[in-house]
A = this chain, B = another copy of it.
Amino acid sequence: MTTDSPLQIGMVGLGRMGANLVRRLMRDGHRCVVNDIGRDAVQALAQEGATAAFSLKELAAALEPPRNVWLMVPAGAVESTLDELVPLLDADDIVVDGGNSFYRDDIARAGRLAPHGIHYVDCGTSGGVWGLDRGYCLMIGGDEKAVTRLAPVFRTIAPGTGSAEPTPGRTRAGGTAPEGYLHCGPSGAGHFVKMVHNGVEYGMMAAIAEGLSIIRHADAGLSGRTVDAETAPLRDPDAYRYEIDVAEVAEVWRRGSVVGSWLVDLAADALARSPGLDAFTGRVSDSGEGRWTVQAAIDESVPAPVIGAALNQRYASRGLDEFTGKVLSAMRSEFGGHDEKKE
């Protein structure tokens, strides 16, 4: 990581992501003013070298104009933060929303800030808890001028070219994508690409999880499945007598296979720690981007059966298919006199 011209940047929101962004920025010579609703979080980073700001007012005062402010707050808190922050800013200041906002909100917010001459930059930030060391993949929307001014910051936060082999077929000179950040287009484009990134993530995760589950249940022929009119018998139990070490399968797939990926790395790690994943119940949350991706695909008339199935799978994992199942069992009872199996 090396930066031609260090910048001063104000970070609002010092949760795991925000705090690590500050650390990564300071390591590379940028000066950070930090703010959070929790005083402790502010003080902790102040001890690491940041300038403390216990209010947005203090933050605005501590930043030299033209200011660069990065919001790393929950999507639901962006609007109220802007309400308080915008009056403290001046023309030519930049506000970056680095969280997981819905891209349509970016369009509206950029439009709202434009009359004040304030630039609004939406920045999808991927990398999770590992980003401090690995760097974060940045997908950016907004006007060219603002994005260019922040280039040193993006370059620091992103993983850099050394983090992956060069793409053999790439002949294009220039472009920042090989460094790990990309100006995707006007306002909203960054969060749009990040939204779809998360949709892809849902699908990839689901593929891996289903595959490992199929391997885990390769022993289906060993347990006697109940034979009654309500349960289909396993026709070829001899073909399902494997007791395969799922954790080791995830580990071996990390090297040389076509499915090699960071997600397989993570699955291997989780299974190495706990082969039965006993700490988990299997109720899988979703935090918005997957839904929005499917809804965008529908609007665009682009088939997305796999990402859609992954989303439905998460819903069902949380029992949200209950009434549907009741209607199905009720119809079966009506036409066939089938009693619902209780277990």
The stretch among A2-10, A87-95, A278-286 that forms the contact with chain B is A278-286
Interface 1/0s, chain A 115-143, versus B by CB < 8 A? 00000000000111111001111110000
Nearest-neighbor residue (CB-CB) of A307 within chain B: B210
Interface 1/0s, chain A 311-339, versus B by CB < 8 A? 11111111011111111111111111110
Is A29 engaged at the interface, CB distance under 8 Å to the other chain?
no
Copies held by the complex: 4
Residues from chain B with Cβ under 8 Å of A129 in the complex = 335-337
User: In the complex the two chains form, what is the Cα distance from A255 to B310 in whole Å?
Assistant: 24
Could you tell me if B134 and A331 are in contact, using CB atoms closer than 8 angstroms?
no
Is chain A's interface secondary structure helix, strand, loop, or mixed overall?
helix
Interface 1/0s, chain A 133-157, versus B by CB < 8 A? 0111111000000000000000000
Nearest-neighbor residue (CB-CB) of A276 within chain B: B326
Interface 1/0s, chain A 84-124, versus B by CB < 8 A? 00000000000000000011100100000000000000000
Inter-chain pairs besides A204-B207, A284-B325, 9 sampled, C-beta below 8 Å = A189-B244, A206-B207, A209-B328, A217-B301, A220-B299, A232-B301, A259-B262, A304-B312, A306-B313
For chain A, the count of residues having a C-beta within 8 Å of the partner chain is 175
Is A18 engaged at the interface, CB distance under 8 Å to the other chain?
no
Interface 1/0s, chain A 203-216, versus B by CB < 8 A? 11111111111111
Is A23 engaged at the interface, CB distance under 8 Å to the other chain?
no
User: In the complex the two chains form, what is the Cα distance from A248 to B140 in whole Å?
Assistant: 12
How many Å from the CB of A72 to the closest CB on chain B? 12
